[in-house]
Structure 1
Amino acid sequence: MLNEADLAHLRRCVELATEALDAGDEPFGSVLVDAEGNARAEDRNRVAGGDHTRHPEFELARWAAAHMTPEERAGATVYTSGEHCPMCSAAHAWVGLARIVYVASSAQLTQWLTDLGVPAGPVAPLPVNAVAPQIIVEGPVPELAEEVHALHVRLHTQDPATPHG
């Protein structure tokens, strides 16, 4: 069961996803929170430059590996606007992060993109636990999912000649 602190971190993820979209990128945002509830790092999607590994969840896994002890990572949570892709799920597991809380699931995103006529990407949209079965995963969060959906609609239905903002 999510509490108000969880929801506050998820709202920040939606803000970061909006910032990503406004900057011309895909709308994803994530926050890394330690066991005491302190936000330690945050990021947004940065794939617009052509490097499609620049997901915020992957960047936070790298950050955690460089800046947190294994014990700290084992108590940390990654909050994110969208469920981790397989690449990010693997990175999360390999660095020993504990929990993932997401707003929208991979299944929801896949359906939204299908409805918008967006072709499937090069990687199967597997749920986190299909890749990293030991990870504690919570989501989706219906009270915020429509905000994330609206960001993806905005990304895929706007005039390509205009900026995302």
Structure 2
Amino acid sequence: MAYEPTEAELVHLRRAVELAAEALAEGDEPFGTVLVSASGDTLFEDRNRTAGGDQTRHPEFEVARWAAANMTPDERAAAVVYTSGEHCAMCSAAHGWVGLGRIVYVHSSAQLGEWRGALGVPPSPVSPLPIQDVVPGIRVDGPVPALEAEVHDLHVRACS
């Protein structure tokens, strides 16, 4: 079900998309993530860094690591993660273990699988599970149609 973000949420989602574009420009897969406090302040942001061969260098995983080291459990639970794409199972698990709060994503894992399939790209070696299948009860909002075309274009370019 599509999600219509607020203007404040769009700012963070657009930044996540900018980070995804930065990742692509550096030879990485186009994913970006922003961690925002309950008061709306950006606390940490990162982009995919898998080009060096370490496929665990997803920004959502880095956000979880940073949050575990720098935030209290209550702060983590109240925070929101804005990301260009729905978390993979690995990142969902990290998110759940650390106790981060809500997630808002631009495109779903299912959409990414469809896009990659249409481009003739082999499927991911990890099952594209919805976040809630890995972290039951977490609030997740997405996809965000207003930004889908821009992120789709990044993935098309990544696969070309």
| Interval of TM-score (by shorter of Structure 1 and Structure 2) | over 0.9
TM-score scaled by length of structure 1: 0.94
Distance (whole Å) between structure 2 residues aligned to residue 78 and residue 51 of structure 1: 22
Give me the identity figure in percent: 69
Amino acid at match of 1:115: A
| Paired AA for residue 24 in structure 1 | G
> Could you report, residue by residue, the CA deviation over 1:21-45 in whole angstroms, capped at 9, with x for unpaired residues?
0011100000000000000000000
Query: Quick one: which amino acid aligns to residue 130 of structure 2?
Result: P
Tell me which residue corresponds to 1:67: 70
Unaligned runs of 5+ in 2: none
How far apart are residue 2 of structure 1 and its match? 2.1
Where structure 1 has 5 or more consecutive residues not aligned to the other structure, the ranges are 158-165
Q: CA deviation at 1:134?
A: 1.8
Task: Give the alignment of 1:1-165 within 5 angstroms.
Answer: 2-157=5-160
> What secondary structure does 1:79 align onto?
strand
Q: What is the letter of the counterpart of residue 72 of structure 1?
A: E
Rounded to whole Å, the distance in 2 between the matches of 1:6 and 1:16 is 15
Deviating more after overlay: 29-38 vs 127-136: 127-136
Cα displacement (A) at 1:135: 1.2
Q: Per-residue CA shift, 1:61-89, capped at 9, x if unaligned? A: 00000000001001001100000000000
Q: Which moved more, 1:125-134 or 1:136-145?
A: 125-134
CA RMSD of aligned residues (A): 0.6
Which amino acid counterpart does residue 75 of structure 2 have in structure 1?
A: E
1:118-152 deviation digits (Å, cap 9, x = unpaired): 00121001110011112110000000011000000
Q: After superposition, give the CA deviation of every residue in 1:45-70 in whole Å (9 maximum; x if it has no partner).
A: 00000000000000000000000000
What is the TM-score of this pair, normalised by structure 2?
Answer: 0.97
Runs of at least 4 residues of structure 1 off by over 4 A?
none
> What do the CA deviations read for 1:66-121 (whole angstroms, capped 9, x no partner)?
00000100100110000000000000010000100000001110000000000012
